[in-house]
Amino acid sequence: MPDHFQSVNLLYTLSGFVVGGLVGFTGVGGGALMTPILLLFFGVAPGTAVGTDLLYAAATKSGGTLVHAFNGNVDWKITRRLAAGSVPATIVSILLLWRLGGASQHAANGLITSALGLALLLTAIAILFRGATLGYIARHTDGLTDAQSRNLTVALGVFLGTLVTISSVGAGAIGMTVLLALYPRTPTVRLVGSDIAHAVPLTLVAGLGHWFMGGVDWNMLASLLIGSLPGIAVGSHLAARVPDRFLRPVLASVLAIVGAKLTI
């Protein structure tokens, strides 16, 4: 463990627990919630907030992938297609951030903040208008050949790789909405498992890239994980008792407000 790992920060642990609980309730990726909290409430630098959250996501989603794979709920073909686009895009995005940071850290932080705001707005739209969005995409993807589905999935991977590397947000709500339209005959649970499995290499490669640029706080990461793991368990257990028709619009509205604040 790095030398600067020292002790658990209870405020970060509490934040991890709250975010983990909300993820369990809604299924929305933690980056859409955690990164804005680190930026707006704790004043963490944008690069550090994104880099730490990416490794946080890689750790938590590795466990989810194991469970889904054990239950046979991962379509590895879809996961490979997504990764074929996202991993190269992630490497290119890391190099872009590295070049920008070398020229001007202010420019790099500005790009991260703007991309985060855009990602939050897109996530809010994907949550709030999932039915309408699915219908629109389905009308334009009906009758696709396997080759066309493959190419569009790789293109989706490129988009997600770029967006997630710069903002740590987007792989969950946005990715799932498009996958549901591209693969309407695939059971939803297998698409969820495939999306989670794809998020592991994506967030790991992106997180390691941010680490090499000095953008990971290991003490913060450990503190967040200590809170988030039990939080996800509690949230998942209580999810059936929370009216989804109430919670999702509230969450989408919060993300939209935060996204607008970051982009203005």
Cβ partners under 8 Å of residue 263, min gap 6 = 114, 117, 118, 121
Cα-to-chain-centroid distance, residue 95? 20
Return the pLDDT at 26.
63
Cα-to-chain-centroid distance, residue 29? 5
Other beta carbons less than 10 A from residue 72's beta carbon: 10
Other beta carbons less than 10 A from residue 152's beta carbon: 19
Return the pLDDT at 104.
63
Q: Map out the domains of the chain as residue ranges.
A: 10-18+30-263
Alpha-carbon gap, residue 140 to 133, rounded angstroms: 11
Phi, psi dihedral angles at 13 (to 5 degrees): -65, -45
**Helix orientation angle between 46-70 and 146-167, rounded to the nearest 10 degrees:** 140
Return the pLDDT at 1.
47
Return the pLDDT at 84.
97
pTM to 2 decimal places = 0.81
Phi, psi dihedral angles at 75 (to 5 degrees): -95, 100
The amino acid at residue 12 is Y
Return the pLDDT at 100.
82
Return the pLDDT at 134.
76
- pLDDT tens across the length of the chain (264 residues): 454 445 778 999 998 888 887 776 666 666 778 888 888 888 888 889 899 989 988 887 887 788 888 888 889 999 999 999 999 999 999 999 888 876 666 777 888 888 888 888 888 887 778 778 777 777 777 778 889 899 999 999 999 999 889 988 876 778 888 888 888 888 888 888 888 889 899 999 999 999 988 888 999 999 999 998 888 777 766 665 666 666 667 777 777 777 776 766
